[in-house]
């Protein structure tokens, strides 16, 4: 069995020995799924860190299998999928928690929101999906809160006291300060997607859209919009696009614009820091978003 080369690189780089062992076991795990749920599994989708492929059950039902290294991330994703229970989100049909496997409803036609050219329509669709998704946080859950994101940035600042990639120490400190200020004045907590962007929203049925691939996060709704602001940006003139997106989300979801921009600064700094690799490469669009949002903070 031959896997996509970028997928292999990602798994080896991120999960090292554990990743190697998992890649070796993958053919066996795929066969296990076919057997356990009477499936025929097809060629995978474009892969990054998980093995995701369409499958047909013996009764003809079209499904999707998603195999992950069964760590914290997998368990948070499953917990989030169960809490969303199909509203605004793909439904879980079955799971094998020990082996890190999800059997999901297949969204058909499954076109990604990323393939929609019209910027305004795409953002309106995204806002509708978030309206379906967001609900009050459950009282007890394993899903992490946005405080873990703050802690992650604080740790990165300790590990990179001179800044990381294009992000200066001052920018990291400023984002940490804002994180702290926002958490001290935190308002109502919601169940959030945690990785909401154009590539994790798919078309289903006649004219419906649903999210996939939640990381699961507890926090203010404004936080969940930020990852969407960073994706699919033009090379230049990013500020007007970001401003228009904020207008659409804030209007539709009745969000607090000031807090949204402040969370925007924190998360765009954090998300950019995650893209910095050992050679100093990073996502330039994400960094452009940092500087755009900085301008919004000053106004």
Residues lying near Mg ion in the complex (CB under 5 A): 200, 213
Q: Is 15 in the site for ligand ADP (CB under 6 A)?
A: no
Q: Is 176 in the site for ligand ADP (CB under 6 A)?
A: no
Q: Is 147 in the site for ligand ADP (CB under 6 A)?
A: no
Give the tokens for residue 193.
């997607």
Tell the smallest beta-carbon distance from residue 96 to ligand ADP (Å).
16
Closest to ligand ADP by CB, 106 vs 174, is 106
Tell the smallest beta-carbon distance from residue 245 to ligand ADP (Å).
21
Distance separating alpha carbons of residues 292 and 295, to the nearest angstrom: 5
Q: Is 64 in the site for ligand ADP (CB under 6 A)?
A: yes
Tell the smallest beta-carbon distance from residue 199 to ligand ADP (Å).
6
CA 188 to the chain's CA centroid: 21
Give the tokens for residue 136.
């009050």
Number of residues that bind ligand ADP (CB under 6 A): 19
Closest to Mg ion by CB, 201 vs 262, is 201
Give the tokens for residue 77.
């994703």
Distance separating alpha carbons of residues 264 and 149, to the nearest angstrom: 13
Q: Is 78 in the site for ligand ADP (CB under 6 A)?
A: no
Which one among 45, 132, 141, 285 touches ligand ADP, defined by CB under 6 A? 45
Q: For binding to ligand ADP (CB under 6 A), which residues are involved? A: 45, 48-50, 52, 64, 66, 90, 104-107, 110, 112, 199-200, 202, 212-213
């Amino acid at each position: 069995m031959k896997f996509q080369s970028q997928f292999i690189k990602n798994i080896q780089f991120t999960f090292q020995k554990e990743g190697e062992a998992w890649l070796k076991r993958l053919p066996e795990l795929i066969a296990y799924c076919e057997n356990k749920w009477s499936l025929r599994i097809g060629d995978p989708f474009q892969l990054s860190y998980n093995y995701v492929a369409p499958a047909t059950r013996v009764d003809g039902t079209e499904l999707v299998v998603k195999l992950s290294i069964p760590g914290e991330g997998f368990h948070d994703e499953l917990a989030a999928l169960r809490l969303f229970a199909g509203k605004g989100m793909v439904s879980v049909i079955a799971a094998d928690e020990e082996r890190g496997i999800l059997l999901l409803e297949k969204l058909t036609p499954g076109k990604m929101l990323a393939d929609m050219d019209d910027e305004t329509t795409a953002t309106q669709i995204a806002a509708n999906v978030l309206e379906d998704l967001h609900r009050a946080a459950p009282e007890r859950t394993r899903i992490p809160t946005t405080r873990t994101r703050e802690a992650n940035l604080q740790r990165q600042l300790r590990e990179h006291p001179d800044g990381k990639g294009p992000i200066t120490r001052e920018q990291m400190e400023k984002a940490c300060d804002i994180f702290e200020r926002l958490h001290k004045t935190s308002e109502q907590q919601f169940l959030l997607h945690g990785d909401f962007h154009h590539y994790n929203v798919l078309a289903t049925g006649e004219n419906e859209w649903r999210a996939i691939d939640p990381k699961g996060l507890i926090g203010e709704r404004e936080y969940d919009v930020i990852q969407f602001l960073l994706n699919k940006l033009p090379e230049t003139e990013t500020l007007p696009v970001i401003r228009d997106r904020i207008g659409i989300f804030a209007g539709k979801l009745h969000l607090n614009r000031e807090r949204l921009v402040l969370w925007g600064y924190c998360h765009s700094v954090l998300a950019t820091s995650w893209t910095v690799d050992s050679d100093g490469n990073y996502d330039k669009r994400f960094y452009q978003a940092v500087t755009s949002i900085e301008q919004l903070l000053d106004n």
